[in-house]
Structure formats: C-alpha cells, structure tokens
C-alpha cells in the first residue's frame, strides 16, 4: 500500500502479473529477490501487500501465472510455489504483530471468511478497534468450511487467525448476528458484512431430495469439520468449478469405488483451475464434459443414478450463463452418491435491511462498497457470488480503506496505478532469442501416497529449485530506457550490442527501447557512449555505485585498504551459491561487491575500485550457462580488457584485473591464485618504494 502513494524514481511499467493479481502484489520484485537468494526481503515484499500470504501460497488460483509472459516462451513462472517457498522459509519472521489503537471508532465485521479477516487486518493496521462476529464455532469461513485440508492445512489457517488475535483483533465465534441495529447500538461506528455465499444452489430437478444426494457446500462442511463419511460406491460430482474438484478429491479419499465428474462445460471452458483438474485426473477421477443432469433416478427414495442430456452450449452470444440442451440425446450414469456443486448463494437475514440483487447477492456501490444503509459496507462472496480467496482478500483491503475514508469523513480516493501498464506482447524475434529453460514444477506426492490421506500433497520447493525457477523470470517492464533523446547521439551502439535485438529505429529516426521486449540485462546501459540509457528500476541503477561508496567509507573508517575488490554476481553469491566460497576469503582483505549480474559492471567501476587503493580487481560471474541473460560474461571480459589498457598506461600490471567464469574453473583455486599474485605484487611494490 505504501507503494501507491509514494512519489518515486520508479520508472518501471506494471507487469501483467502484478496487474492481474487482485491484490496487485509486486510479484516481479519478490521473484527477483528469491532468485538473488534474499528470501527474507522477498517475504517482506509479499507481506507488504498480502495480509495472509501463507493462505494464498496454498490455494490462490494464480491469475498472475495465467498472465505470465514467460508462458509465451516456454512455461509461466510457478509464482504460487515460489510464494509458498518464501512463506515457509520465513516462518514467523517479517510478521509485525504489535499494533497500537489510534482511534476510538469501533468497527464490526460480520463473518470471518477471507474478506472479513483481510478487512480486520487492515483496519487494525490503521489503528481501529475491530471485532469480528462469526456464527460458527471456529473462524475462517470458507477457508475452514469449504476448502479441504489437503489443499489448505488447518495449522496455517489457525496460525494466521492467532496472529490476527495477537494484533488486537477481537474474534467472537459462535456469535451469529441477526440484526445490524444491535451492533450500532453496541457502539460500532461502521459494519462490514461478509457473510459469504454458503448456501448451495439446487437445480430444482426431479429427485434432488433423495437420500445420497447432497449439495457441495454441506458435503464439504461435514468433511472439513472432521466428519469422514464413508462413500463406498460410485460417486458422481456435478459441476465444473473448483468446488466440484475439491469434492471429487475428497470423495477419492473417502473410500469411493470410483469418482466421476459431470459438467456442462467443454474441457477448455471449465472454470476450475488447470492444476486442480490435473490432480483429479491423476487420482483416477473421470471427467465427462458437455453434459447436464435431466433428473435423478432412484429407488425407494435412494439415488441409483443420473439421467444426463447433452449440453449444446453454456453461454449465449452475450457471454451470459444460459445453457442449452439437446433433450433428444439422453445418457445414464450409475451413482450411489451424488454431490451437486452447481453454485452458491448467500443467506442474507432480512433484518439486515440490505438491498439484494436478482442473483440473491448484496448490492453495493462498486467504488465505495456501501450498501445504501449508512455505515454498512459489504463485500466478498456475499456480494460477488463465489469467487477466489485472493479476490476476497483484495475486497477486504478495499473495504478497510473505504471504511477509513468514511470514519474520517473523507472523500474516497481510489487511486489506481501511478505507473504505466505493460500492454504489448513481446516481439517474435526476441521470443526466439530467449533461452528456453524447463519450468521447475514444485514436487508432489505420488498418487498412491495421496489418495488415502487428507494432508496436502503439494510439497514445497527446495532452495535450488526455487532459485532456478525464480531466475526464469523475464523481468517485464523493468528494462532499459533512453532517458534523454536530446543527448542520445543515435550512435546505434545499443542496437548493435543487445543480445535480444530489442532496440530499434522508429520512423522519425529516433532509437526506441520498447519496454515490452527488454529483459533488463543491462548491457546497453554500460555501452551507451552518451550514458543516456538507464534501467527503470531504481535499485538496479544505483547498486554498484552504492556498493563502491560503502566500501570507500568502510575503508576510510577502518584506515585499511582492501587488498582485492571483487564484483561478484549476486545470483551466484546468494542465489545458486556457485560463488559463495568467495566469502571465506574476506579475512584476507578480499572485499566483495555484489552486482545484479556482471553485465552491469562498467569500466569506470573497475577504475574506481583501483582508486580505493586495492591491489587487484576481479569480476566473477555465476557462469555463462547459468546466467539468465546472454553474453553478459563476454561484455564483462571486454570491460576488463579496457580497464587493463588504462591501468597499463599508468604503470600498473595488467594481471591486476581478472574475470572468472565459475563454470570454467574452480573458484577457490582461482581466487587463491589471484590473492597470491596480488600479494606478490604488493610486496614487490613496497620493496621498490623502500629502495
């Protein structure tokens, strides 16, 4: 949230992942930090705009991944898995519990689902006293009652709720709210209604009331509350969304002989996530597409099977849900149990006196989330109908902001992005030049181990896989830009050195670096003779100068010159660890300046390092094969050659500048050799000076 209101030097474009995320998380930044091995910092970025990242890490439908531009090259980045890695690595750290109460106005939240929990988190952060009223004996809403344990472990949920309570949020479980007037009379100044959509829809067809037929919500609630009904026999789940998949997976674990899914949609139209469909099929569930249920067939009040008819189309020309059937094509499927997962509706008490739409949901103003009843706001499934956890979290945050506006008598100020949004596709030529790297999928338990347990079967990354996956990110929108067309000499150097063919000359003869193609390797920045190309992300621009400056101040303070200064790739130092042996030489006077890829080192940096009084300077790359960008080590070598020319002209030995490719040599041996050589040169010099 802080990001939105800060005027910054950030000239990056908003990438599609951030745009697609309902919480607008700074995904690009935390993925890069994971690649750099800075997991804690990644976690901080995540927590900056996500109140419950551990929950999202398990169940988010990851719209970011659907929009990830890497998908055009090979496969999208496994963002959710990376987030889970960061969350599990960080544990309790980066969680700020202490929160003072700054205001008097009490806020009530009705419903402890994700929208309610999120709104509570943010309102508490703003300093308001918050109370959540939850009808059920345990908090969590659909997180506890709707999502099975094998998708979201209960310990995670309990942990987050406990943190919320420690922050000072009051949660009253087992306390259903029947009238909002009572709350106002109790002194609450604003109310956020998030009662969810916990009533399962029925189709209204013949046979629905038979024994053995249940709606998904009731079924899942029972399962999630610990009841384990034994479903011996054939189970048929009706529905094509995530809820239907959850039901099917639960049914597999409850002893069913066979589980089938029947849905209206064609395979590609199914609203369920691709992963969930995959998990179902892995566990033997059979999915039958384009079928609707005509009636439930039973005997003596107990279901025996379903009569199905072919669904010709699901949506009408306007894209609205309006299925059409071919009643002449009838088929039949055996069923001992039928679970209908065909939609949910909220159950809004009349006493709330809130406007209800035709679909049965609460109507609100889309900008302010107000219901028309003063002081009463609404959000979550109760307003939108069933949607995802992350959408609910975003609504909770928005509601918190709007309630704050209301309590402070402020006009709601909805600010979208300050930065421009990346819209164009990457051009074909550049797509071809990006090295294809297989996606590191997060590991999963084998099917045999999964189907009898209710534990999560998606496992977390190990460090190496996480870092490797994170480095596949294209860094959309944070590439290079020509900052001053006036000083640009149109020398075309950037065009000629770019390994990806990104810069081009437009009709007016100006050189343009399109943000939709640039992958931020930084080579053109170091080669531009007019120094007008800069990287859009501020930290990219500054970090080497800052590193050198810091080293200078530290050396001055300690009154000691570094013996050797090394520019080493951050991704290799902390990320993959290929350069981590460098740290063990620090006591020998070796100072390491981490750089975000050796492609960003300039000749002047090397010269400035010598100004610090060092004996030798080296550049160490994580390895040309490992490096996520092309030709970076090649350019680093050219810079070193130029630096050698300069120091040679000043009487310094050219062996004082070296470039190490960790894939071609043993870094320990190379560094030890270098240190020895520099030590010898230093000795020579002091002997000469003595004479």
Partner 1 sequence: MIVAQQKPLEEIIGMLIPYDRILILGCGTCVTVCNVGGEREVSLLHSSLRLAQSRGLAQGKVFSEYTVKRQCDKEFLAILEEKAREQDAVLSLACGVGVQVVADYLPDLAVLPGVNTVFMGAFSEAGTWDERCAACGDCRLAATAGVCPITRCSKGILNGPCGGAKNGKCEADRSQDCAWILIYRRLEAKGELDRMRRYYPPRNFRTTSRPRRIQGR
- Which residue ranges make up the site for partner 1 (CB under 8 A)? 486-487, 489-493, 496, 528-532, 603-604, 607-608, 610-611, 613, 646-647, 649-652
Distances (CA, A) of 281 to 104, 274, 285: 53, 11, 5
Q: What's the min distance (Å) between Cβ of 430 and partner 1? A: 20
Residue nearer to partner 1 on the CB measure, 39 or 601: 601
Among 204, 217, 251, 222, which residue's Cα sits nearest to residue 344? 217
Residue nearer to partner 1 on the CB measure, 84 or 639: 639
* Helix segments in 127-268, DSSP class H: 142-145, 154-167, 180-185, 216-224, 242-252
User: Which H/E stretch holds residue 340?
Assistant: strand 337-340
Q: What's the min distance (Å) between Cβ of 608 and partner 1? A: 6
Task: For residue 669, count CB atoms less than 10 angstroms from its CB and return exposed for 0-12, middle for 13-18, buried for 19 or more.
Answer: exposed
Residue nearer to partner 1 on the CB measure, 41 or 527: 527
Q: What's the min distance (Å) between Cβ of 371 and partner 1? A: 60
Q: What's the min distance (Å) between Cβ of 62 and partner 1? A: 43
Among 344, 358, 356, which residue's Cα sits nearest to residue 387? 344
Q: What's the min distance (Å) between Cβ of 652 and partner 1? A: 7
The answer to whether the CB of 561 falls within 8 A of the CB of 612 is yes
Q: What's the min distance (Å) between Cβ of 85 and partner 1? A: 40
The answer to whether the CB of 377 falls within 8 A of the CB of 191 is yes
Please state, in angstroms and rounded to a whole number, the distance separating the CA atoms of residues 319 and 670: 64
Residue nearer to partner 1 on the CB measure, 474 or 657: 657
User: 3-state DSSP call for residue 640?
Assistant: helix
Q: What's the min distance (Å) between Cβ of 243 and partner 1? A: 60
Residue nearer to partner 1 on the CB measure, 137 or 649: 649
Residue nearer to partner 1 on the CB measure, 506 or 611: 611
Please state, in angstroms and rounded to a whole number, the distance separating the CA atoms of residues 123 and 399: 9
Residue nearer to partner 1 on the CB measure, 15 or 522: 522
Q: What's the min distance (Å) between Cβ of 561 and partner 1? A: 11
Q: What's the min distance (Å) between Cβ of 490 and partner 1? A: 8
Among 215, 262, 268, 207, which residue's Cα sits nearest to residue 239? 262
Q: What's the min distance (Å) between Cβ of 487 and partner 1? A: 6
Q: What's the min distance (Å) between Cβ of 429 and partner 1? A: 20
Tokens describing residue 519: 């992958």
Report the residue count for the chain: 691
Residue nearer to partner 1 on the CB measure, 507 or 611: 611
Residues 6+ apart with CB under 8 A from 218: 200
Q: What's the min distance (Å) between Cβ of 480 and partner 1? A: 15
Tokens describing residue 672: 């030890």
Residue nearer to partner 1 on the CB measure, 445 or 530: 530
Query: Phi and psi at residue 312, in whole multiples of 5°?
Result: -80, -45
Tokens describing residue 507: 């009709």
Residue nearer to partner 1 on the CB measure, 429 or 487: 487
Residue nearer to partner 1 on the CB measure, 371 or 526: 526
The answer to whether the CB of 30 falls within 8 A of the CB of 78 is no
Residue nearer to partner 1 on the CB measure, 585 or 610: 610
Number of other residues whose CB lies within 10 A of the CB of residue 549:
12
Q: Which residue has the tokens 């190496």?
A: 464
The per-type count for the chain, helices as H runs and strands as E runs, is: 26, 23
Give 3-state DSSP helix, strand, coil % of the chain, rounded to 5: 40, 20, 45
Residue nearer to partner 1 on the CB measure, 428 or 689: 689
Q: What's the min distance (Å) between Cβ of 512 and partner 1? A: 18
Question: Rounded to the nearest 10 degrees, what angle do helices 79-90 and 27-35 cross at?
Answer: 60
The rounded radius of gyration (Å) of the Cα atoms in the chain is 30
Residues 6+ apart with CB under 8 A from 649: none
DSSP 467-493: HHHHTT---TT-SEEE--TTT-----H
Q: What's the min distance (Å) between Cβ of 613 and partner 1? A: 7
Residue nearer to partner 1 on the CB measure, 99 or 493: 493
Among 576, 602, 603, 581, which residue's Cα sits nearest to residue 592? 581
Please state, in angstroms and rounded to a whole number, the distance separating the CA atoms of residues 91 and 332: 51
């Amino acid at each position: 949230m802080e990001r939105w209101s800060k005027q910054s030097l950030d000239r990056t474009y908003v990438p599609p992942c951030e745009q697609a995320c309902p919480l607008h998380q700074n995904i690009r930044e935390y993925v890069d930090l994971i690649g750099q091995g800075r997991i804690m910092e990644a976690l901080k970025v995540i927590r900056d705009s996500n109140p419950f990242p551990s929950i999202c890490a398990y169940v988010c439908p990851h719209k970011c991944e659907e929009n990830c531009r890497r998908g055009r090259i090979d496969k999208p980045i496994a963002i959710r898995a990376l987030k889970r890695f960061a969350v599990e690595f960080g544990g309790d750290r980066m969680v700020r519990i202490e929160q003072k109460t700054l205001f008097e106005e009490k806020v009530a939240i009705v419903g402890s689902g994700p929208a309610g929990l999120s709104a509570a988190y943010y309102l508490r952060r703003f300093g308001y006293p918050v109370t959540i009223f939850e009808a059920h004996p345990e908090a969590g809403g659909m997180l506890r009652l709707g999502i099975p344990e094998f998708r979201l472990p209960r310990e995670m949920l309990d942990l987050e709720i406990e943190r919320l309570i420690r922050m000072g949020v009051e949660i009253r479980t087992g306390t259903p709210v029947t009238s909002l007037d009572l709350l106002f009379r109790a002194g609450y100044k604003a109310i956020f209604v998030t009662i969810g959509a916990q009533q399962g829809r029925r189709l209204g067809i013949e046979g629905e009331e038979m024994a053995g037929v249940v709606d998904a919500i009731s079924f899942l609630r029972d399962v999630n509350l610990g009841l384990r009904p034994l479903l011996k026999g054939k189970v048929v789940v009706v529905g094509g969304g995530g809820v239907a998949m959850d039901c099917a997976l639960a049914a597999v674990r409850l002893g069913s002989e066979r589980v089938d899914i029947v849905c209206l949609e064609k395979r590609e139209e199914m609203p369920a996530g691709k992963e969930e469909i995959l998990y179902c099929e892995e566990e033997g569930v059979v999915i039958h597409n384009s079928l609707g249920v005509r009636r439930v067939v039973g005997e003596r009040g107990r279901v025996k099977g379903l009569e199905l008819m072919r669904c010709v189309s699901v949506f009408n020309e306007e894209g609205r849900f309006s299925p059409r059937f071919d009643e002449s094509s009838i088929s039949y499927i055996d069923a001992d149990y039928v679970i209908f997962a065909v939609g949910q509706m909220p159950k809004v008490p009349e006493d709330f006196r809130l406007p209800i739409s035709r679909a049965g949901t609460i109507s609100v103003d889309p900008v302010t989330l107000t219901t028309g009843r003063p002081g009463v706001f609404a959000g979550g499934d109760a307003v939108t109908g069933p949607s995802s956890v992350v959408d609910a979290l975003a609504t909770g945050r928005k509601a918190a902001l709007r309630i704050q506006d209301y309590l402070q008598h402020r006009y709601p100020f909805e600010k979208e992005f300050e930065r421009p949004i990346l819209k164009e596709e990457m051009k074909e030529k550049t797509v071809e030049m990006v090295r294809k790297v297989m996606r590191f999928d997060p590991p999963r338990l084998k099917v045999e181990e999964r189907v009898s347990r209710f534990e999560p079967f998606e496992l977390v990354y190990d460090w190496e896989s996480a870092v490797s996956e994170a480095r596949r990110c294209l860094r959309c929108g944070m590439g290079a830009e020509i900052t001053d067309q006036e000083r640009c000499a149109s020398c075309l150097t950037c065009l000629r050195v770019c390994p990806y063919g990104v810069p081009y000359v437009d009709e007016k003869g100006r050189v343009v670096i399109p943000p939709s193609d640039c992958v931020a390797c930084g080579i053109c920045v170091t080669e531009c003779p007019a120094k007008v190309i800069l990287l859009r992300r501020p930290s990219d621009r500054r970090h080497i100068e800052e590193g050198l400056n810091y080293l200078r101040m530290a050396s001055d303070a300690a009154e000691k010159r570094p013996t050797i200064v090394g520019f080493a790739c951050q991704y290799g130092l902390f990320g993959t660890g290929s350069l981590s042996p460098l740290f063990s030489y620090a006591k020998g006077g070796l100072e390491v300046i981490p750089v975000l890829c050796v492609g960003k080192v300039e000749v002047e940096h090397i010269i400035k390092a010598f100004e610090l009084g060092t004996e030798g300077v080296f550049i160490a790359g994580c390895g040309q094969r490992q490096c996520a960008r092309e030709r970076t080590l090649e350019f680093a070598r050219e810079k070193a050659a130029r630096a050698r020319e300069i120091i040679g002209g000043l009487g310094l030995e050219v062996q004082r500048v070296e470039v190490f490719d960790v894939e071609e040599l043993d870094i320990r041996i190379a560094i030890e050799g270098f240190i020895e050589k520099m030590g010898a040169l230093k000795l020579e010099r002091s002997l000469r000076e003595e004479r």
